[in-house]
Structure formats: structure tokens, C-alpha cells
Amino acid sequence: MEHGMIFDVVHGSFVDGPGVRTVIFFKGCNLRCNWCHNPESQSFKIEIMLYKNKCNGCGICKNVCPQKGEGCNLCGVCTQYCPSQARKICGKIRTVDEVMTEIEKDKAFYNNLSGGVTFSGGECMLQLNFLKALLKRCHEEGIHTAVDTAGDVAWESFEEIIPYTDAFLYDVKCFTDKLHQQGTGVSNKKILDNLKKLSKTFKGDIFIRIPIIPGFNTDEAELLKMATFLKDISCKKTELLPYHKLGANKYAALGREEKIYTVPSKADMEKINLIFNT
């Protein structure tokens, strides 16, 4: 039985594909986007998150710790006993059957609200065998499937899952390769090449998702390059996702510093929208 590392399951999402969605978040990513609002998704390893603003200093976590507070083996016992829910274990190995149980809870909603399941991350395509097994099961049960990806994988990985995928949510951060490396740590050549191939070969829907990050990809020349490139891409919709600061508490809980950008104004978003929709 295939298994993989999951860090969250969200029921009833309306922002992760068409209709109402169950979203399965895979842990582990090969990009390091400076604006990432799910930093707990990046590592492939289990992590303990400590929300210090919730901690009441009761000390129960130390009393129940099998290690007696000397080091951490990520067993998660402290998270089970914390009365203020200040500690959270992030990441769990799940089997295909376990994940399908979560998905099938919402099956009635998929039929009534034209929804389905979205596999996200992190980068879900880095756990390809697990992803493929889940997609096949959903396909067999008639559940609409969407894969949310940054596209920085071998094209052969796409070929493996295309037969069982109804839609792709494809992230495009910017067009200029040097800029992409500065913002994410990796080149975007493979990402853009894969998108072109996907556009030509995939018969389902492609939703392009562009994070709008002031100071990174909002220069007019860069936006025009992206818009020009996307004119040759066959997609259902291009979604512009304004930067937000909702991940700040997660960085703190992981003991990491967040890089702060400016939240784009409504007027800024309207101007950018005209570039992609004229």
C-alpha cells in the first residue's frame, strides 16, 4: 500500500479549484518562495510548531515528554496534552485508504456543488507514486481531481498522472529566470517548458495562478512578459492571488523569520488585472 507525508486536510474549500473541494496538503517542496504562507509545507520531515502566544507556561509538555525535555524525537506527545493547543505536530504518514476516507466524507458535496478533491502542497508531485495511487482511486470512484503544482518536476511525472487528472492548478511566479531564482531559489525554465507541453497535450482544464508580490513580480515590464507568454497557453482561467501576511504566525511557530512584502491595494490589483485580461 502506497503511503505519503501529509500535513493538512481541508474540507469545504472554494478557492482551490472548481466547486467545493477537499484539499489534501502534501508535505515537502523543492521551491523556497520568499512569500510562502505555508512554511510548514516546505520540509519533508515532521515538525513541531510552537505558538508562543498561546502558551500559558503550565509546563505539562515537559512533564509528559518521554525525553524529559532533553532533545525532541518528534513523537508529538506534548501536542496531545497541551491544554492551550500551543503545540502542533506538523506532518503525518498516511496510507491511500486513510486519505480516501477523508475524501469520501465530502462525496455528497462534490455531486451537488460540482466539486472534487485537490492535491496540493508543498509540491504534491514530489510524492509521485502516492499521488498517482490517490488519483487513480478518485478516478475509479468518479471524483473530480485537481493537482496544484509549481511544475518544477520532470515532464515524465506529468505523463504519469495526466490520465487520472481532470484539472491542473499551475503556479506561475514570474517570467524572468534570474528573478525567479532570486524569489524561489530555483530556475523557472523547466516550469515554463512543462506548462507549454501541458497546454498542448492535456485535455482537461488548466487554471493559471499568479501570486502578486509587490517588489518581486509587479514591475510592469515583468507583468507584460508573463501576460505575453500566457497568451499562447490554453487555460480555463488566470487567477491573480494578492500577497497576504496570514502565514506570519506559522513562521514564528517554526522559529523562522518571515520576509515581509507590501500587501497590494485594490487599485493595484485592478491595474494588474487589466494587463492579463486585455
Residue 178 has what pLDDT?
Answer: 98
Q: For residue 4, what are the β-bridge partners?
A: 94
232 class by beta-carbon count within 10 Å (0-12 exposed, 13-18 middle, 19+ buried): exposed
Rounded to 5 degrees, φ, ψ at 23 are: -110, 125
Contacts of 53 (CB under 8 A, 6+ apart): 249
Give residue-wise pLDDT tens across range 231-266. 999 999 999 999 999 889 999 999 999 999 999 999
Count Cβ atoms below 10 Å from residue 185 Cβ, excluding itself: 12
- At how many degrees (to 10) do helices 266-276 and 220-230 cross? 40
Which residue stretches of the chain have pLDDT < 50?
none
Mind listing the pLDDT tens digit for each residue in 54-82?
999 999 999 999 987 678 899 999 999 99
The pLDDT of residue 224: 97
Total-model pTM: 0.95
Q: Where are the domains of the chain?
A: 3-45+91-276, 49-88
Q: Which pairs from 198-205 meet CB under 8 Å and 24+ separation? A: 198/151, 198/158, 198/168, 198/170, 199/232, 199/233, 199/234, 199/235, 200/234, 201/162, 202/162, 202/165, 202/168, 204/165, 204/166, 204/167, 204/168, 205/18, 205/166, 205/167, 205/168, 205/235, 205/236
Domain 3-45+91-276 fold:
TIM Barrel (3.20.20)
| pLDDT of res. 169 | 98
With cell 466547486, the residue in question is 19
d(CA 189, CA 168): 19
